[in-house]
Chains A and B, each alone.
Chain A
Amino acid sequence: MTMLHLSTFSRRLLQGLGVGLLAFFLLGPLANLVLWSVAERWYTPFKLPVTYGTKYWEVVFRPTGDAMTSLTTSVGIALAVVVVTLIVSVPAGYALARLRLPFRAAIMLLFLLPQAFPSVAIYINVARIFYWIGLNGTVIGVVLVHSVHALVYSVWIAAAAFSSIDQDLEWAARNIGASPLKTFVSVTLPLAAPGLVAASIFVFLESLDEFTGTFFVGVPQVTTLPLLLYNASMGGNYQVASITALILLVPSIGFMLIIERFLKGDVLSKIGR
């Protein structure tokens, strides 16, 4: 009895330690960010900030400040990227799911290509081409670069979402008098919507966090939040960098919770097939 008691106790202890370590690795850096964001003065011999205050929060959230401008740019670009990828991935995903396309696997892999090569090499070349055709330093250029990067998620998830819908449902609608378009809009699309929403959220977050492409194609005219973060931390302004990082965290966490509810197992199991 005592032995059993002891072993459960030590198991609890080990579990506690494990969870503690995990929390430290996950939350430790976050805690550091939070601390930096409210540190008005913090220099070397001190383990904790010397003066606390919300001065830098005010700087960042000042309507005329760089941070608010980049936030607007970032969100605007991300929304545009969502629209562009939906325009491509809804028809492409439906075709990949329903039609017996030749070279289907090859087409699926094609969307993976932009992720497969070293991104810096690709973006340098993209920047050169965009420079020729005058897209460098424009929002449209950045949107295009982000879209190509995000297409693999949106097309693969859309194809999975469509193929998890029983085709008999579409036939049933056609059978009782709905045209192909009406069937798609009233039966297929609503059933695929959760998958498409999840794909869009992935795309939105991907665009919001994207750095390399924006760096090569957008700078200096287009400054998104990750670029601002980069500039701030390179310039030694850890407070602004930390606050920017925290702002970037908010949509990520919020959307992840939503995705978890939207993406069901039957869709997940068909991704990439």
Chain B
Amino acid sequence: MSIAFEQLTVAFNHKAVIEDLSLVIPQGCFFTLLGPSGCGKTTLLRTIAGFTPAEKGRLLFGNKDVIALPAHQRDIGMVFQDYALFPDRSVFDNVAYGLIARGWSRERLRPAVLAMLDHVSLTGLHDRFPAALSGGQRQRVALARALVIKPQLLLMDEPLSNLDTKLRIQMRSSICKLQKEAGITTIFVTHDQEEALALSDLIGVMNNGKIEQIGSPQDIYQTPRTAFVANFVGGANLMPLPELSSPIGQGYAQVQSPLGPLKAFSYHQLEAHHACLMIRPEDINLSLDTGLQANHLPCRIMGKHYLGSKTHYDIILPDGTEMVVHLSGQAHEQFGIDQSLFACFEVESALLVRA
């Protein structure tokens, strides 16, 4: 089932948290809402689930507007951040709850529940109570409880944030597998960009109640539209530019930076004001001479952090702009603090984004 929002507005105490949001999520898509805490992503998820009422707008499941339906009639499965397992019910009864609410008989639901527990690798744990399970197991019970009712839509609210790193990566791939097998449209909320990039078919990067950019993980990382997206996904060095004389179209552009002309590239149409130059830390090279790359700026090394596979450098440009550079390999090992060098980068690495 495809999901669509049309001019959705959600308010808390008369203050709009989400304003005029329109968005289409195709059938079977793993869609991630990515954003910092307080950006409205959890509110949006709760509005979809029917826990938070919308001020105005439409929420379409297929062709049906569900905005007026109460939560229990929306046919959604949700996995909560703290799992929200019923502490007084066994694993079996937790998973069976949704089927009982749908009027299934005990004999009919038993095989369905046991099969679902097998599916999430919890075979034999049906008699346990949530308190006797590990974090990863609770997570899978929550997932089984949401999936066993074969909902039209699966919602996940930061489901991995309570697990340790190793388990998180493990759960990531099993969630991905389960979602693809079920072919269920999924909306996943997270503030972890790595998680979003690894799991999603489509990512919507949210900031201040608005979606700044929607795209595949590659689109979001490689061709960010705004400075916020560039900085939030992957990290970026941002250099504000003085107002441009004319709007910038797609393609190569010569821009006037405070440090002289630079050759840059733009994937998106940009208005004259609000433009910003964005360079990824790993796309900058430090060298003793101006080198062969299209752009080079004089700089001085302020800090050096050795991290094994790579080294992070903090550099400062003559106008006081600070930047971060990630270098791998050994060629730069002799560079030291206070050394003056050139920061060099290609045209395609100097992207113009909306400030």
Contacts and interface: CB of A to CB of B under 8 A. Distances in A.
Interface of A: 166, 168-169, 171-180, 182-183, 186-187, 190-191
A178 B84 contact: no
A177 B98 contact: yes
A174 B82 CA distance: 16
B191 interface: no
Interface of B: 49-51, 70-73, 75-78, 80-82, 84-88, 97-98, 101-102, 145-146, 149, 151
B149 A176 contact: yes
B78 A172 contact: yes
Contacts of B51: 171, 174
B72 A174 contact: yes
B86 A175 contact: no
B98 A176 contact: yes
Nearest to B49: A175
A178 B73 CA distance: 9
A165 to B, nearest CB: 9
B71 A187 contact: no
A248 to B, nearest CB: 35
Given A166-B84, A187-B86, A191-B87, A175 B76 contact: yes
A187 B51 CA distance: 17
Tell me whether chain B's interface is mostly helix, strand or loop, or mixed: loop
Nearest to A187: B86
Contacts, number: 68
Tell me whether chain A's interface is mostly helix, strand or loop, or mixed: helix
A176 B82 contact: no
A179 B87 contact: no
Contacts of A176: 72, 77-78, 97-98, 101, 145-146, 149, 151
B80 A171 contact: yes
A182 B82 contact: no
Given A171-B71, A190-B88, A178 B82 contact: no
B84 A182 contact: no
A177 B101 CA distance: 6
B88 A191 contact: yes
Contacts of A177: 72-73, 75, 98, 101-102, 149
Q: Give the one of A171, A172, A180 with max B CB within 10 A.
A: A172
A182 B101 contact: yes
B49 A168 contact: no
Contacts of A175: 49-50, 71-72, 76-78, 146
Q: Give the one of A174, A178, A187 with max B CB within 10 A.
A: A174
A181 to B, nearest CB: 10
A168 to B, nearest CB: 4
B97 A173 contact: yes
B205 to A, nearest CB: 26
B49 A178 contact: no
A168 B87 contact: no
Contacts of B76: 175
Contacts of B78: 171-172, 175-176
A193 B109 CA distance: 28
Shortest beta-carbon contacts, A-B, top 5: A176-B98, A177-B101, A168-B84, A172-B84, A174-B71
Given A175-B71, A179-B72, A169 B101 contact: no
29 contacts: A166-B82, A168-B84, A169-B84, A169-B86, A171-B49, A172-B85, A172-B145, A174-B51, A174-B70, A174-B72, A175-B49, A175-B50, A175-B72, A175-B146, A176-B77, A176-B97, A176-B98, A176-B151, A177-B72, A177-B75, A178-B72, A178-B101, A179-B70, A180-B70, A182-B101, A183-B72, A186-B97, A187-B86, A191-B87
B84 A171 contact: yes
Contacts of A182: 101
A178 B77 contact: no
Q: Give the one of A176, A180, A186 with max B CB within 10 A.
A: A176
Contacts of B149: 176-177
B143 to A, nearest CB: 12
Q: Give the one of A168, A172, A175 with max B CB within 10 A.
A: A175
A191 B130 CA distance: 14
Given A171-B49, A171-B80, 17 more contacts: A166-B84, A171-B84, A172-B80, A172-B84, A172-B85, A173-B97, A174-B70, A174-B72, A175-B49, A175-B146, A176-B72, A176-B149, A177-B102, A177-B149, A180-B70, A182-B101, A191-B87
A122 to B, nearest CB: 40
B76 to A, nearest CB: 6
Nearest to A172: B84
B294 to A, nearest CB: 53
Nearest to B155: A175
A265 to B, nearest CB: 15
A169 B86 CA distance: 6
A168 B84 CA distance: 6
Contacts of B49: 171, 175
Q: Give the one of B49, B72, B102 with max A CB within 10 A.
A: B72
Nearest to A168: B84
A191 B85 CA distance: 12
Contacts of B87: 169, 191
A173 B73 CA distance: 12
